[in-house]
Structure 1
Amino acid sequence: MTRDLLEEMFRVAVAQAQPALAVRQHLPARPEGRTVVVGAGKASAQMARAFEEAWDGPLSGLVVTRYGYAEPCQRIEIVEAAHPVPDEAGFLAARRIMETVSGLGPDDLVVALISGGGSALLPAPAAGLTLLDEQAINQALLASGAPISVMNLIRNQFSAIKGGRLARQAAPARVATLIVSDVPGDDPALVASGPTIPLSGTRELARKYASLYRLDLPPHARAMLEGDDNPAPEPGEAVFASNTVTTIASAAISLEAAADLARRQGIEAAILSDSIEGEARDVAQVMAALAREIAYRNRPFPKPVVLLSGGETTVTLRGTGGRGGRNSEFLLALALALEGVEGVSALAADTDGIDGSEQNAGAYADGTTATRLRRAGHDPLALLAGNDAWTAFNALGDLVVTGPTGTNVNDFRAILIR
């Protein structure tokens, strides 16, 4: 019953972020000239299909999504590429997208359909860098534990398409960007590293972050970061003045839908934040402390209550060969901190349906998880130390598997205290 309720809350949250509904409600004004659709991200194919079905005029375009995430479209070409480490298919797609928006006039409209994952799906290394360099940069960032805002600022330094460069290429055409946000705080410039929106943040700041997180960058990238090549567009440039940006789906909207479901079941819901960042296992310690306070002392929220949160935690890789993602790592750390506490259960999952390296969206845990793991012959502390949370929850049959959901508004966490 408890697990069923948590999984239903997750389904409701995902449904609220589906592009089919959100795109139709935010169509831009028809242009006098051509309509060209481009896009990138885990939800971009679903967004393209929804836009194509809702648009009553001629259009053409190209959108790139993750392998396995394509949707059938009639007028918009859908291509697939690798995520989270870029590949040749994404490299070629990024080049074609830049060509697609070239040579347009002031009466034309570019509709940019952008969602999380677009950074990896649009590899376009700046002059002097190669695809291998961009792959190495991405791998270094993924292993660093840096928050998404830092990763995107650093990626922007090495790209020919990110940080507003795609929109600058499209000028003088008007650009209308529709965003399914997967970043804490919903800053649109951070989603997919903002191909149509200039990022704030200087080259000097990117250098400081690269040093702080001890990034092992390839030699050509290090040299570029130390110099002034490939300057990023500035937010105030006139070329962006007529463009529009609309966030059509986000974690905040999805968490409200999950809270409404809980309240209809007679359970109060507390939305702690839709923009939590930090190391997954550290966030778990804070959440566990709050859950224990409620379980033992009935404060600061009276039972029964479900604690809801979103955002994007990070995982710093400490070992090799571990399997899993940030949500399963969060849950394993939470389960260890809540071992023996009765009446507390939790679900954490990525709204795109894939948590990290495997095919599960997330997992389910409660106060018995760590004990059951030991009885099954596994050491939960060792699994956590090796970033191997998938093995833990797979052994217990507690993985949550949905397959690709068609959207991406980042992490969903629900902790129920009865």
Structure 2
Amino acid sequence: MNRDFLTSLYLSGVEVSKPNACLGEYFTAFSPSERVCILGAGKAAADMAQEAYRYFGNNAYGAVVTRYGYEAEGATGNIRVLTASHPVPDENSVIAANTLMNIASEVPQGEQVIFLISGGGSALACAPAKGVTLEEKLGLHKFLLRSGASIEEMNTVRKHVSLIKGGRLAAASKGNNTSLVISDVVGDNPAMIASGLTVEDNSSPKDALAILQKYGFGETNSITKHLEHAPPLPKVAGDYHIVANANTAIDVAVTRAQEEGWKTHVISYEETGEASEVAKRHAKLALDCKAKGERCLLFSGGELTVTLGDTEGEGGPNQEYLMVLANTLNGEAGICALAADTDGVDGSKEVAGGYIDATTLTRAVSEGLDIKSLIAQHNSFAFFDGLGDHIVIGPTRTNVNDFRVICVF
């Protein structure tokens, strides 16, 4: 019952964050009969385009780019849906970025432009700066993914080695710009969501260089040379609205749990840091509740990180969080937990996350899984795969970061 119940809470958070649930009310600010240019990027972009077509019909035109396999199931009319690779960009990411920039530059003065932005847009719309090759940018991207850098730090670097990020997409348009955004960034900083394709940013090329130095990117190449002489980011005007975020997902799950008689606590909507350290802290909170005899649910959102170092482990932050949580709880009865990414993909495999309970450690031993060794290797996928305790729901076509809930009963 507990796994099914926690999964249902997670799914309720995912559903309320999808474009068909959160986007429609924002379109009502526009006349459905006006001509509107739709441009977008991210894991939710295709479904956002579908909602735009549902409202504007053939008066909407333009293009969006989403991840392979995340195409809309319904019609998008005159809004082209392009696909590219995520989390590592490919040639189609470059084609998509150039397509978006070209359409934006051709918008007539004063025409309405609606940018549909969601998490993943940074990789999906990739236009390397002049003098930087895609291969070099891919090398940088892989370095950042393995470094332990936060998504904010990664996006700061990305936008200064790009021709589209850091507000450049919106700056290319002469129209009346409005951005409608599903946020996957802790704190909802507009400049960080999809590397701020449509918003002004105050970071500098020197900030990007400092981040690379912080994480040991010591190589001198075209990227560092570009950053040493890169121009400032452009000034950008327009309206900007967050249509869904981590609060959206967690709040609906909290409400549903309370309706079923559960006491709830939101640890934080904005958890960040190493997954293993956050797991240890959350385990202590759960054990404290257990010791007090408190029957409750502990929710948290945000985005955790895993610093791989020289290891070659597979998995993701939510799986690592749960593996360390299980190890720290040490089989404590009456506690179970679920952690999953709202986009349906946690890390390097096509799984959303996982589930643990009081039987996790004993079952791991019986399956020959050495949890301490797997934690050291950051090989959380193998752990949950061996137990059959992954949460797998496929692409959700939205992304408002992590959803975690610990049940104390």
Asked if the contact 1:323/1:391 (under 8 Å) is kept, the reply is: yes
1:175: Cα distance to partner?
A: 1.1
Cα deviations across residues 348-374 of structure 1 (Å, max 9, x unaligned)? 000011111111110001233223212
Which of 342, 349, 361 does residue 358 from structure 1 map onto? 349
Cα deviations across residues 8-65 of structure 1 (Å, max 9, x unaligned)? 0001000110101211110143499741111110111111101110125612111110
Check if 1:68 corresponds to 2:69: yes
Q: In percent, how many aligned pairs have the same letter?
A: 40
Which of 147, 153, 163 does residue 156 from structure 2 map onto? 153
Distance 1:217 1:384 in 2: 30
**TM-score normalised per structure 1:** 0.94
Which of 249, 252, 267 does residue 262 from structure 2 map onto? 267
Distance 1:267 1:142 in 2: 38
Counterpart of 2:44 in structure 1 is 43
Alignment of 1:139-218 (within 5 A): 139-170=142-173, 172-215=174-217
1:124: Cα distance to partner?
A: 0.5
Counterpart of 1:327 in structure 2 is 318
Cα deviations across residues 268-320 of structure 1 (Å, max 9, x unaligned)? 1111211111011111111111111111234xxxx211111111111111344
Instruction: Judge which range, 102-111 or 403-412, deviates more.
Output: 102-111
Distance 2:138 2:220 in 1: 10
Counterpart of 1:132 in structure 2 is 135
Alignment of 1:267-416 (within 5 A): 267-298=262-293, 303-416=294-407
Check if 1:232 corresponds to 2:271: no
Which of 76, 99, 102 does residue 102 from structure 2 map onto? 99
Task: Give secondary structure in 2 for the equivalent of 1:3.
Answer: helix
Asked if the contact 1:136/1:218 (under 8 Å) is kept, the reply is: no
Note closer, same or farther for the CA distance 1:217–1:74 as it changes in structure 2 (3 Å cut). Answer: farther
Distance 1:335 1:158 in 2: 41
Cα deviations across residues 374-405 of structure 1 (Å, max 9, x unaligned)? 22111011111112111111111100000001
Distance 2:78 2:220 in 1: 40
Note closer, same or farther for the CA distance 1:31–1:46 as it changes in structure 2 (3 Å cut). Answer: closer
Asked if the contact 1:125/1:160 (under 8 Å) is kept, the reply is: yes
Distance 2:264 2:289 in 1: 13
Asked if the contact 2:204/2:232 (under 8 Å) is kept, the reply is: no
Counterpart of 1:59 in structure 2 is 60
Check if 1:18 corresponds to 2:18: yes
Distance 1:122 1:257 in 2: 31
Distance 1:293 1:125 in 2: 50
Distance 1:154 1:217 in 2: 15
Distance 1:119 1:12 in 2: 27
Report the AA paired with residue 281 of structure 2.
Answer: V
Task: Give secondary structure in 1 for the equivalent of 2:109.
Answer: coil
Check if 1:78 corresponds to 2:81: yes
1:130: Cα distance to partner?
A: 1.0
Give the total of aligned pairs.
406
Counterpart of 2:5 in structure 1 is 5
Asked if the contact 1:349/1:362 (under 8 Å) is kept, the reply is: yes
**CA RMSD, aligned part only?**
1.6
Asked if the contact 2:17/2:248 (under 8 Å) is kept, the reply is: yes
Distance 2:152 2:218 in 1: 18
Report the AA paired with residue 180 of structure 1.
Answer: I
Distance 1:204 1:31 in 2: 44
Task: Give secondary structure in 1 for the equivalent of 2:23.
Answer: helix
Distance 1:285 1:199 in 2: 35
Which of 226, 251, 258 does residue 253 from structure 2 map onto? 258
1:155: Cα distance to partner?
A: 0.9
